[in-house]
């Protein structure tokens, strides 16, 4: 590891936006710990891509809702790279249903990953991130778009928007920023699965930019919050091309 190299943990880093974030932070010069829930092949592929581009990365399996697993994730970052400067909590699940038809087991699954997982990761980060660091949680622009079938998912992410500014104030004097990023509709498997081409085109056409977001669009904002943007703190940054 090069002297003064920053170290980032990215949960949900094996696919979609999380993977784009991991690759972008590595390209920015950070050593990256790619946290993943179950898809080892995808996680190792992300590490390989980062390595081929000249970066440093390792994949670690961790259920974000389990404190022991998250602690081991941070242990790996400290033991392998010397510490933790940036934590990007991109792990999340989305199950869509009209509220009147909602399977409460699905609600509990989203609560476990999206809310409990954010608390567990943020709690660990609060004790381990070094001065000058950043904690970046993930919300969604659906909290403003109010789309049918998204009530349970949006509710779980609204909790993330509540957590982040409070933690920013609780870390007063530590020189650690805490923000949430709220992507709009983005071309990832999480968003595209179960939607017809017509639905996707309709959603893309509603955006002033006339397209869906790309994972790289979101990663660009995370890169800024993870590095030079020291005066953005306790905020939710909506990254959606003007959709909301």
* pLDDT, one tens digit for every residue, the chain (244 residues): 555 799 999 999 999 999 999 999 999 999 999 999 988 999 999 999 999 999 999 999 999 999 999 999 999 999 999 999 999 999 999 999 999 999 999 999 999 999 999 999 999 999 999 999 999 999 999 999 898 999 999 999 999 999 999 999 999 999 999 999 999 888 887 777 778 888 888 888 888 998 988 999 999 999 999 998 999 999 999 999 998 6
Q: Is 153 annotated as catalytic? A: yes
Annotated catalytic residue: which of 36, 81, 150, 153? 153
For the chain, give every domain's residue range.
7-239
Which among 176, 13, 175, 172 has a CA at the least distance from the CA of 88?
13
CB 84 within 8 A of CB 125: yes
Q: What is the pTM of this model?
A: 0.94
The helix/strand count (H/E) of the chain reads as 10, 7
CATH of domain 7-239: 3.40.50.720
Which among 94, 99, 124 has a CA at the least distance from the CA of 109?
94
How far CA 16 is from CA of 91, 99, 134, in Å, comes to: 10, 27, 21
E strand map for the chain: 7-11, 31-36, 57-61, 84-89, 129-138, 177-183, 236-239
């Amino acid at each position: 590891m090069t002297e003064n190299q920053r170290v980032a943990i990215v949960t949900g880093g094996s696919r979609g936006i999380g993977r784009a974030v991991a690759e972008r932070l590595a390209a920015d010069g950070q050593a990256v710990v790619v946290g993943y829930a179950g898809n080892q092949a995808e996680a190792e592929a992300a590490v390989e891509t980062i390595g081929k581009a000249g970066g440093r990365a390792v994949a670690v399996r961790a259920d974000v809702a389990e404190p022991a697993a998250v602690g081991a994730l941070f242990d790996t970052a400290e033991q392998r790279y010397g510490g933790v400067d940036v934590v990007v909590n991109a792990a999340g699940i989305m199950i869509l249903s009209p509220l009147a038809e909602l399977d409460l087991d699905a609600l509990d699954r989203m609560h476990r990953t999206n809310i409990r997982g954010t608390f567990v990761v943020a709690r660990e980060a609060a004790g381990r991130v070094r001065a000058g660091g950043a904690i970046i949680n993930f919300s969604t622009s659906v909290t403003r778009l109010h789309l049918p079938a998204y009530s349970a998912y949006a509710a779980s992410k609204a909790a993330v928007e509540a957590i982040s500014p409070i933690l920013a104030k609780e870390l007063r004097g530590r020189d650690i920023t805490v923000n949430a990023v709220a992507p709009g509709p983005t071309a990832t498997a999480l968003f595209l699965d179960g939607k017809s081409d017509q639905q996707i085109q309709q959603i893309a056409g509603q955006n002033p930019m006339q397209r869906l977001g790309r994972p790289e669009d979101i990663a660009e904002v995370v890169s800024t919050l993870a590095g030079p943007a020291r005066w953005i703190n306790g905020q939710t940054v909506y990254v959606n091309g003007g959709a909301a």
